[in-house]
């Protein structure tokens, strides 16, 4: 075999290796925009089969009872992707559902479906109801209502403790779901839609299970340098995604800062 052929084979092999490396690095977190149910939908897909991927929850920099601008949170936490977490009281700024950050419960609420992540990237949706034990989960945020359960799209409404009718009016929306292939879906819709429409959209995207997240003015979604949904207010909590264990480790201490002291005045 002459040198020209050998050189060509080696060059092709190197090129394929580079392409494979690039594909592997880019495919674990990917963004697409789709048109579903006459609605433009932003979709960030996260491959939870990738052992280097880390999904976590995070709270505002001054802890529970404070808020922080979305841009500030992104700058401080440096995630590859991020989405709005659960609802919070606009007066006290305290979230309405349980939140576990890095294995530690930082907030205890009373409503919602548990969106739970294990240390080995298993996403589980736990039914609402009563005080729950989050032992064994790395990250948890209780939000809702449930949108898809066992491939069936339906909204559970009051059985999860949500009683405000305003929750079910048309609004911009965010949601999280999981597919049969263990791909997590982070979804936002910037135009006002009903929650039932969001449930159908999540099923259309292939979600086996899915839950609603905070929406309206709190609608926020980010992926790799692009803010896809801009919230109209400061936020109190997020779901964040990291492309590597190393990147997660570098900001781990920033995920759940100490709470604001009693009587303190949040400045974020």
99-135 tens-digit pLDDT: 999 999 999 988 889 999 999 999 999 986 666 889 9
pTM: predicted TM-score of the whole model, two decimal places: 0.86
| Torsion sign, CA atoms 256, 104, 141, 115 | positive
Domain-wise residue ranges, the chain: 27-254
Give the pLDDT mean for 229-240.
99
Identify which of 178, 117, 113, 176 has the alpha carbon closest to the alpha carbon of residue 143.
113
132-155 tens-digit pLDDT: 889 999 999 999 899 999 999 988
pLDDT confidence of residue 171: 96
- Model confidence at 36, pLDDT cuts 50, 70, 90, reads very high
Instruction: Answer whether residue 168 shows pLDDT above 90.
Output: no
- What is residue 191's three-state secondary structure? strand
187-227 tens-digit pLDDT: 999 999 999 999 999 999 999 999 999 999 999 999 999 99
Give the whole-angstrom CA distance, residue 168 versus residue 171: 8
Output the 3-class SS for 40-60.
EEEEEEEECCCCCCEEEEEEC
Chain position carrying tokens 């086996």: 208
- Model confidence at 166, pLDDT cuts 50, 70, 90, reads confident
């Amino acid at each position: 075999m002459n040198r020209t052929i050998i050189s060509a084979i080696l060059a092709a092999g190197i090129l394929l290796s580079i392409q494979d490396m690039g594909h592997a690095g880019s495919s674990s977190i990917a963004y697409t925009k789709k048109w579903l149910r006459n609605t433009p939908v932003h979709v960030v897909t996260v491959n939870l089969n990738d052992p280097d991927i880390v999904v976590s929850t995070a709270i505002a920099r001054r802890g529970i009872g404070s808020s922080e601008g979305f841009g500030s949170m992104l700058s401080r936490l440096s995630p590859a992707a991020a989405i709005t977490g659960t609802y919070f009281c606009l007066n006290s700024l305290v979230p309405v559902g349980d939140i576990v950050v890095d294995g530690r419960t930082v907030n205890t609420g009373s409503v919602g479906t548990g969106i739970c992540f294990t240390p080995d990237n298993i996403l589980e949706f736990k039914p609402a109801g009563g005080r729950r034990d989050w032992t064994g989960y790395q990250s948890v945020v209780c939000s809702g209502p449930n949108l898809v359960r066992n491939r069936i799209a339906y909204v559970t409404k009051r059985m999860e403790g949500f009683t405000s009718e305003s929750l079910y009016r048309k609004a911009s929306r965010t949601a999280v779901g999981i597919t049969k292939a263990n791909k997590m879906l982070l979804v936002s819709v910037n135009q006002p839609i009903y929650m039932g429409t969001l449930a159908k959209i999540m099923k259309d995207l292939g979600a086996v299970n899915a839950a609603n997240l905070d929406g309206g003015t709190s609608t926020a979604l980010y992926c790799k340098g692009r803010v896809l949904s801009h919230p109209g207010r400061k936020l109190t909590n997020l779901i964040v995604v990291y492309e590597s264990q190393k990147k997660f480790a570098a900001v781990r201490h920033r995920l759940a800062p100490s709470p604001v002291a009693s009587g303190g005045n949040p400045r974020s």
